[in-house]
Structure 1
C-alpha cells in the first residue's frame, strides 16, 4: 500500500493584518491577481492556479503573523525573473533578505512581506 500523496502541500494560509494592503503587496510582487472571497466566516484573498483540482494554492486571511520571519516560509511563483520580483518586493514595502539562489527546478530569493511573513519568490527554470 502506497499512501504517498501527489503533493506534500495541499493548501497554504498566510496571516495578514491588513487584507487590502496585503493583496496589493502580493499582487505587485507576484505579478498575478488574487481573488477576494468574502463568503466565508473570514475574508480571503485566493492565489489563483490554472486548475484548482490539480494545483496547490492558498490564500491570505486576517490573522496574527509570526514575528519577523520566524514562521514557515511560503515560496510563491512570480511573473518574470527573480531579480524583477525582488525589486517589486522592495517597491511594495517588503524586504529582500537573500540574493537569488539557484536550485535544480529554478531560482528563488528569501523575502519578508509587510507583516514580516517569510516568503520566497520563485522563478521556474525553462
Structure 2
C-alpha cells in the first residue's frame, strides 16, 4: 500500500533585509523566529510543532533568493483575516487582493510583504 502524505513540507520566502522581514512577519502574525545560517544563507525559521497540522518554513536571505510578487503564493492561516490584513498594511505591506469570500471554505486576501513578495491569507469559515 502506498503511503499517503501532503506533498508540500517546507517553504522559503526570499528577503533582502532579514531584520525588516522578521519585524514585519512578527507584527502581522505575532510569531517568533529562530535565526540560523544554512549554506551561507541567513534564515529566520518560522515556528514548527510536530504535533500541529501544516508545514513551516523560513525567511531566507542570500544570493539565490529574489523576492517577487509574480511567483508562488503561500497561504497563511489566520483566525482573524481583517486584523492580519490591517497589520500587514500598517507594517508597510500593500493590499493586493481584498478580503473575499471563498464560499464554505471561508475567506482569502493577499498582500505584498515588506520585501515585495505576494502573500495570501486564509480564514476558515468555522
TM range (shorter): 0.7 to 0.9
Which deviations, in whole Å up to 9, do the C-alpha atoms of 1:68-122 show, x marking residues without a partner? Answer: x1111111123x4101011101111001112212233332211111122110122
Q: Which ranges of 4 or more aligned residues in structure 1 deviate by more than 3 Å? A: 52-55
Partner of 1:87: 86
RMSD over aligned CA atoms reads 2.1
Partner of 2:28: 29
Take 1:123 and 1:35, find their aligned partners in 2: how far apart are those partners?
26
Take 2:109 and 2:53, find their aligned partners in 1: how far apart are those partners?
26
Partner of 1:59: 58
Give matches, 1:1-126, under 5 Å.
2=2, 5-38=4-37, 40-41=38-39, 42-51=41-50, 55-62=54-61, 63-66=65-68, 69-78=69-78, 80-103=79-102, 104-126=104-126
Using the size of structure 1 for normalisation, the TM-score is: 0.82
* Unaligned segments of structure 2, at least 5 residues: none
Take 1:72 and 1:31, find their aligned partners in 2: how far apart are those partners?
23
Secondary structure of 1:58's aligned partner? strand
Using the size of structure 2 for normalisation, the TM-score is: 0.82
* Unaligned segments of structure 1, at least 5 residues: none
Distance 1:85 1:53, change over 3 A: closer
Which deviations, in whole Å up to 9, do the C-alpha atoms of 1:21-40 show, x marking residues without a partner? Answer: 001111111122222223x2
